[in-house]
Amino acid sequence: MSHYRSSRHHGLIALAAIIALLPLVLSNKYFYDVAILIGFNAIVCIGLNLLIGYAGQISLGHAGFFGLGAYASAILTGNYGWPPVIAALAGMAGVGSLAFLAGRPILKLKGHYLAMATLGLGIIISLVIVNQDRLTGGPDGITVGPFSVLGFALENERAWYWFIGGLLLLTVWLSQNLIDSPMGRALRALHSSEVGAQAAGINAAAHKLQIFVLSATFAAGAGSLAAHYSGFITPAKAGFIHSVELVTMVVLGGMASIYGAVVGAAVLTLLPQILTVLKDYEMVVLGAVMMATMIFLPRGLVPSLAALCERWRDLLPPSLVLRLEALIGRGRKP
Amino acid sequence: MSAPARPPEGGASQSPERAQPANRTHPLPQEGGRGDGSSTPARPPEGGASQSPERAQPANRTHPLSQEGGRGEGPRMTILSVQNLSRRFGGLTAVDDVSLAVSPGTVHAVIGPNGAGKTTLLNLMCGIYTPSSGSIWLDDHDLSGAPHYAFARLGLGRTFQTPQIFNNMSALENVMVGRYMHEQRGLFLGLAEALLRLPTLRAAERRSREEAAELMRVVGLERYLDAEADALPYGALKRLEIARALALKPKLLLLDEPAAGLNHSEAVEIEQLIGQLVERGMTVVLVEHNMRLVMEVSDAILVLDHGRRLAEGPPQMVREDPRVIEAYLGKEAAEDARSAVAV
Amino acid sequence: MSQTLSTRSLRWCLAGLALAAPWFSAPTLAQEPIKIGSFLSVTGPASFLGDPELKTLEMYIERVNAAGGVLGRKLQLVSYDDAGDAEKARTFATRLIEQDKVDVIVGGSTTGSTMAAVPLAEKAAIPFISLAGAVVIIEPVKKWVFKTPHTDRMACEKVFVDLQARKLSKLGLISGSGGFDKSMRAECLKVAPKYQIDIVADETYGAGDTDMSAQLTKIKNTAGVQAVLNPGFGQGPAIVTKNFKQLGITVPLYQSHGVASKEFIKLAGDAAEGVRLPASALLVAEALPESDAQKKVLVSYKQSYEGKFKSDVSTFGGHAYDGLMLAVEAMKKAGSTDKAKVRDALEATKGYMGTAGVVNMSANDHMGLDLTAFRMLEVKGGNWVLVK
Ligand SMILES: Nc1ncnc2c1ncn2[C@@H]1O[C@H](COP(=O)(O)OP(=O)(O)O)[C@@H](O)[C@H]1O
Ligand SMILES: [Mg+2]
């Protein structure tokens, strides 16, 4: 177990190193922009993976929470002049409360029914955003002012990059802490066997609700910041397609893997940028890549590759194995 | 607490027929509740009582199953009390008007052919199923209809016929999950502590790991301290479940066929493990097909058939009960049992 | 760029050069193409905009190049599909500016995707000609941002002018809940007082509604209603038109430019008779009198598009045509691709005849269209006819 904990630190260090060194190859604002988008998506996906991968509860409505966070920031800073940080926190609190209220009945459902219910919740949220056009600007979207923390405004891509990079590290750290705590074990336990978890005194319903709220709050926070970064937000960000994109990132990267969520977000943010040159074939190739991944690496990129490495490590010198393992972090099964 | 809580076997065999009224007695201290359980006006005429003549006898205060008799004088003597419990699944009555009282430090076995309703009874006793009728008391808490986890929090640990292992974590973490209720600090404080990994949590986690590891040693799983749960063989999973249940620091342990699916030597190991637990004074409700094990460790045996009580009493009595022999055990089985006890 | 070279070997040579180019930092060929950047909603819910826009850009860039290009250089189109997602639009706009280093941007199919890219164009100081409708794009005026389509407000104004001519002033509104619908409704409400139009009823219907009788009955029962306007897009207006007829409402019904297509008449059937709407002249190109100064450009674009793609021309493709041609004209006038000079030339555009109408830009009007850009049409005998 000390093994797991030390590899956890190694993972964080590796991620920090990547974030620190990446600017060496980010030669212009466009690359920064893509890196920042990866950061936002990764933060949402880590939160979503806590819910889907660790606690085993699906949500097809997370974009709704993301969108609500974004619009809360847009409206509270734009119409009411709130400071961005306060607006973002208020948005997170509001979304957390909504998730709490909606989650109580919804999370009693399982499997397809839960998927349908969260889907419905997301659709309702995006409809409200579209229809409350006096506040939200309706389908055309709404302009959002710049973000500032303690009077220090994030003006350019570089500033945003370091801010989001730091936030991503923080999110990874918090999530790893959670997973490796009594509460995290409770979540993983109820995913694996709800009856077994209850036999250990775990109130499954309360824990599902708690992680649902936490995960929705992560999404709302990322939404707030993404809105400020973009400077403009449309209801599409709260829509069903965005929800599916987020779930796809989680599944592709690897369920129940925090780095999987990061890798999934990175791959699915980067791929469209690379494949866009294929024009009409972009979607076909993207689909093929995802299908191939799920066929050959069925547990998602990170856990499947980690398992492969484990299988190969007998062939490698032990010292190298130790070092590699530390880098990857041990993949955990969904 | 072990020795005094377990009355001598002899007491049980002396007056087996007096065992029953205890089952119908309220677990809470009651004035004058002893010995006249069968005539308690609040209870409808018990089908079980009229069927089994031996139950008509007044309770023998020295019998392990009627220790509530002592409650007027000192500590309460029933941990778990189940009264007139029934559970229907559609048209099928899986458990039909079953009553049971478990005294601290005793091993109460539930036997019966497959489909007799043993697992259903256990599931009722720990809140997985809600009773169609009847009540369940754990200490002085009426838990009828309470959720499963609430039973666990009051000190009821259990294992499952099909092990409910958390395959998404290590074996050690499985046991640590069992410590959940001793680590839990409320959803919000717990969340903050967990997210920030505060020093208090770190210390608690270290202790938790040590204790879980110790429990793994107790059940003989020291080989798997670093293993992922899904890497364990079946026999080890059964023991892992016991370790997890023990991590709860339970007052009462429900074991559902702990030896099922095990080969002979594994079964013997489980048997020894249960023996150790019982020696340490653990109160156990045991569902098991292995008669040798049952006869050896049980203080009392409840025989179920088609959801109903067929017989109940100390092993010797059950073993000798002609109806059990005829209707359930069969002659060979009865002989098996006899020879097993002789061992 | 290799497409225009005649011999195969030369083509390969150039392709090789293009591949090798990144390895040599310095050599910039004199004949380096002018890069026209574009991000359009080619797929997704707004593909009805992006698809004809992209086709138009591709077709006309080819034509311009065949005719010798601009300033002796070829045009090169760099386009991305934002799928109607504003965030993607922003990233692609960044890519056009930072990575592809385009000279001008002609794109942004939707208001959302345009608005997401506006701050980038402003910051990077690059001319950006949007193909989206809303007034917010050019109001307030943004130094580097222009647009080619007429606005919803102008559609309202065109209707109001027609109402004035018919001496009608009490108008009932029934609008859908899509982006187009909402935006136009808001604009109509805003400019109504200027034309002494009284909005006496203001009903809305949902996106998937299949019967609007209830709303129309309310309007019918509103005292003094003299005409009804339906700012709407998609299937809704056809249903409104049918219900309108079924309820026996006799006042004039106006639709918006959002349904200015044969499809609308097909859907609404007989009920469409007598319905009026403001529309781009492109829709009735061939029916325009020879004296109409716009006719030549309209017919030429229409025939080219329909000839090549075998599908009905749309005003949206026309917006892309206008955007590209405005950029080309501005570069010719500026005599260079210097961004500031091109911007100044764009702002100084006068009398340019496009598919949307005559464009006269100024420092405080980055669209430059007036109401003549719209023609009032009426359905007669199952066809669109110009209202004289
Ligand atoms: N959840 C359930 N739904 C329907 N029938 C059930 C359920 N659980 C148990 N039963 C039925 O109840 C009867 C008793 O089952 P069980 O308690 O598992 O028997 P045992 O453990 O003694 O073998 C069986 O006939 C079984 O099919
Ligand atoms: Mg069973």
Residue B328 Cβ inside 6 Å of ligand 1? The answer reads: no
DSSP secondary structure letter of residue C129: E
Q: Which of A131, A230, A282 sits opposite C116 (nearest CB)?
A: A230
Angle at CA of residue A255, ends A166 and B232, nearest 5°: 120
Residues of C at the A interface, defined by Cβ within 8 angstroms: 43, 80-81, 84-88, 90-92, 94-95, 97-99, 110-112, 115-116, 118-119, 134, 136, 177-179, 182-183, 186
The C-alpha atoms of residue A104 and residue A108 are separated, in whole angstroms, by 7
Domain of A263 in residue numbering reads as 2-328
- Chain B residue with CA closest to A182: the answer is B180
Element (H, E) at C147: strand C145-147
Q: Which of A141, A231, A236 sits opposite C119 (nearest CB)?
A: A231
Q: What are the contacts of C99-103 at 24+ separation with CB within 8 A?
A: C99/A28, C99/A30, C99/A31, C100/C35, C100/C37, C101/C35, C102/C35, C102/C36, C102/C37, C102/C78, C102/C126, C103/C34, C103/C35, C103/C36, C103/C37, C103/C331, C103/C337, C103/C339, C103/C342
The C-alpha atoms of residue B79 and residue B64 are separated, in whole angstroms, by 12
Q: Which numbered atom of ligand 1 lies nearest the CA of B116?
A: 22
Q: What is the pLDDT of residue C72?
A: 92
CB-count exposure of residue C205 (10 Å: 0-12, 13-18, 19+): buried
Q: Which of C84, C98, C186 sits opposite A29 (nearest CB)?
A: C98
Of the listed ligands, the closest to the CA of B161 is: 2
For residue A82, the SS3 value is coil
Does residue C286 lie within any of the structural domains? no
A232-246, A300-314, B23-37, B300-314: lowest mean pLDDT where?
Answer: B23-37
Are A60 and A238 within 8 A, CB to CB? no
Does residue C341 lie within any of the structural domains? yes
The residues that bridge with C357 in the sheet, in sequence order, are C354
| DSSP conformation letters of B48-106 | HHHH-GGGGSPPPTTSGGGGGGGGGTSS---SEEEEEEEEEETTEEEEEEEEEEE-TT-
Mutation test residue for ligand 1: of B86, B87, B89, B126, the one with most atoms within 8 Å of CB = B89
Domain of C130 in residue numbering reads as 34-150+294-372
Does residue C379 lie within any of the structural domains? no
Are B195 and A222 within 8 A, CB to CB? no
* B-contacting chains (≥3 CB pairs under 8 Å): A
Residue B115 Cβ inside 6 Å of ligand 1? The answer reads: yes
CATH number at residue A171: 1.10.3470
The residues that bridge with B285 in the sheet, in sequence order, are B108, B254
Q: Determine the residue among A32, A33, A41, A142 to mutate to test chain C binding: the one whose Cβ has the most chain C Cβ atoms within 10 Å.
A: A33
Of the listed ligands, the closest to the CA of B118 is: 1
Q: What is the pLDDT of residue B295?
A: 87
Distance from CA of C327 to the nearest CA of A (A): 24
Does residue A113 lie within any of the structural domains? yes
Tens of pLDDT, residue by residue over B8-30, are 333 333 333 333 333 333 333 33
Q: Which of C97, C115, C177 sits opposite A131 (nearest CB)?
A: C177
Does residue C97 lie within any of the structural domains? yes
Q: Which of A30, A138, A226 sits opposite C182 (nearest CB)?
A: A138
C255 and C177 in one domain? yes
Distance from CA of A204 to the nearest CA of B (A): 8
Percent of chain A residues past pLDDT 90, beyond the cut: 72
Are B19 and B314 within 8 A, CB to CB? yes
Strand ranges, E, within chain B: 80-89, 92-102, 107-111, 133-138, 141-142, 156-158, 252-256, 283-287, 300-305, 308-313
Residue environment code for A296-307, b if the CB has 16+ CB neighbours within 10 A, otherwise e? ebebbbbbbbbe
The C-alpha atoms of residue A136 and residue C229 are separated, in whole angstroms, by 25
Q: Higher-confidence residue: A327 or C5?
A: A327
Looking at domain B72-155+250-343, does it have CATH number 3.40.50.300? yes
How many Cβ pairs within 8 Å bridge chains A and B? 124
Residue B113 Cβ inside 6 Å of ligand 1? The answer reads: no
Angle at CA of residue C362, ends C360 and C368, nearest 5°: 35
Residue B94 Cβ inside 6 Å of ligand 1? The answer reads: yes
C321 and C274 in one domain? no
C172 and C141 in one domain? no
List the residue whose alpha carbon is closest to atom 9 of ligand 1. B120
Residue B118 Cβ inside 6 Å of ligand 1? The answer reads: yes
Is residue A175's pLDDT more than 50? yes
ipTM > 0.90, yes or no: no
The residues that bridge with C385 in the sheet, in sequence order, are C378
* Cross-chain Cβ contact B196/A333 below 8 Å: no
How many domains, chain A?
1
The C-alpha atoms of residue C174 and residue C176 are separated, in whole angstroms, by 7
Q: Determine the residue among C95, C135, C184 to mutate to test chain A binding: the one whose Cβ has the most chain A Cβ atoms within 10 Å.
A: C95
The C-alpha atoms of residue C332 and residue C339 are separated, in whole angstroms, by 13
C191 and C240 in one domain? yes
User: Which residues, at least 6 apart from A303, have a Cβ–Cβ distance to it below 8 Å?
Assistant: A254, A255, A256, A257, A260, A331, A332, A333, A334
- Chain B residue with CA closest to A200: the answer is B178
Are B293 and B271 within 8 A, CB to CB? yes
Taking residue A129's Cβ as centre, other Cβ atoms within 10 Å add up to 28
C161 and C83 in one domain? no
Q: What is the pLDDT of residue A171?
A: 96
C130 and C175 in one domain? no
Q: Is the omega angle on the peptide bond into residue C140 within 30 degrees of 0, that is, cis?
A: yes
How many domains, chain C?
2
Tens of pLDDT, residue by residue over B114-138, are 889 999 999 999 999 999 999 999 9
Does residue A334 lie within any of the structural domains? no
Structure tokens at A333: 């099964």
Q: What pLDDT tens digit does each residue of chain B (343 aa) get?
A: 333 333 333 333 333 333 333 333 333 333 333 333 333 333 333 333 333 333 333 333 333 223 333 333 334 578 999 999 999 999 899 999 999 999 998 999 999 888 899 999 999 999 999 999 999 999 888 998 899 999 999 999 999 999 999 999 999 999 999 999 888 777 778 888 899 999 989 999 999 999 999 999 999 999 999 999 999 999 999 999 999 999 999 999 999 999 888 888 888 888 888 888 888 889 999 999 888 888 888 999 999 988 999 889 999 888 888 777 766 655 555 556 555 554 4
Does residue C25 lie within any of the structural domains? no
Residue B170 Cβ inside 6 Å of ligand 1? The answer reads: no
Q: Which residue intervals of B197-233 are DSSP H helices?
A: 199-218
Query: Where exactly does CATH 3.40.50.300 map onto chain B?
Result: 72-155+250-343
CA of A34: how far to CAs of A157, A164, A272, C92, in Å?
10, 12, 11, 10
CA of A79: how far to CAs of A91, A142, C143, in Å?
14, 11, 25
CA of B305 to the centre of ligand 2 (A): 12
Q: Determine the residue among B153, B166, B251 to mutate to test chain A binding: the one whose Cβ has the most chain A Cβ atoms within 10 Å.
A: B166
Q: What is the pLDDT of residue A323?
A: 66
Q: What is the pLDDT of residue B159?
A: 95
The C-alpha atoms of residue C86 and residue C327 are separated, in whole angstroms, by 23
Q: What is the pLDDT of residue A324?
A: 62
Is residue A114's pLDDT more than 50? yes
Q: Which numbered atom of ligand 1 lies nearest the CA of B90?
A: 4
* Cross-chain Cβ contact C86/A282 below 8 Å: no
The C-alpha atoms of residue C99 and residue C342 are separated, in whole angstroms, by 20
Taking residue A152's Cβ as centre, other Cβ atoms within 10 Å add up to 10
Tell me the whole-structure pTM to 2 decimals. 0.82
DSSP secondary structure letter of residue B185: -
Which positions in chain A touch C92 (Cβ < 8 Å)?
276
CA of B49 to the centre of ligand 1 (A): 24
Of the listed ligands, the closest to the CA of B112 is: 1
Taking residue B73's Cβ as centre, other Cβ atoms within 10 Å add up to 8
Q: Which of C80, C87, C95 sits opposite A230 (nearest CB)?
A: C87
* A-contacting chains (≥3 CB pairs under 8 Å): B, C
Q: Which of B168, B180, B195 sits opposite A200 (nearest CB)?
A: B180
The last residue of one of the domains, among C224, C254, C279, is C279
CA of B122 to the centre of ligand 2 (A): 9
Does residue C47 lie within any of the structural domains? yes
List the residue whose alpha carbon is closest to atom 24 of ligand 1. B115
Q: Which residue intervals of C247-373 are DSSP H helices?
A: 262-268, 295-309, 315-334, 339-347
Does residue C130 lie within any of the structural domains? yes
CA of B118 to the centre of ligand 2 (A): 6
Does residue A333 lie within any of the structural domains? no
C92 and C171 in one domain? no
User: Which residues, at least 6 apart from B200, have a Cβ–Cβ distance to it below 8 Å?
Assistant: B193
The C-alpha atoms of residue B171 and residue B244 are separated, in whole angstroms, by 10
Mutation test residue for ligand 1: of B111, B119, B130, B304, the one with most atoms within 8 Å of CB = B119
Structure tokens at B259: 């030896």
User: Of C122, C195, C117, whose CA–CA distance to C163 is shortest?
Assistant: C195
Q: Extract the residue ranges of chain C whose pLDDT is less than 70.
A: 1-30
C174 and C65 in one domain? no
CA of A286: how far to CAs of A276, A300, B306, C96, in Å?
10, 16, 58, 22
Distance from CA of A314 to the nearest CA of C (A): 42
CATH number at residue C266: 3.40.50.2300
Which positions in chain A touch B194 (Cβ < 8 Å)?
177-178, 181-184
CA of B88 to the centre of ligand 1 (A): 10
Does residue C11 lie within any of the structural domains? no
* Cross-chain Cβ contact A199/B173 below 8 Å: no
Mutation test residue for ligand 1: of B111, B114, B120, the one with most atoms within 8 Å of CB = B120
For residue C274, the SS3 value is coil
C210 and C131 in one domain? no
* Cross-chain Cβ contact C179/A140 below 8 Å: yes
Which positions in chain C touch A272 (Cβ < 8 Å)?
88
Tens of pLDDT, residue by residue over C163-215, are 999 999 999 999 988 778 888 999 999 999 999 999 999 999 987 889 999 99
Does residue A61 lie within any of the structural domains? yes
Q: Determine the residue among A97, A104, A174, A183 to mutate to test chain B binding: the one whose Cβ has the most chain B Cβ atoms within 10 Å.
A: A183
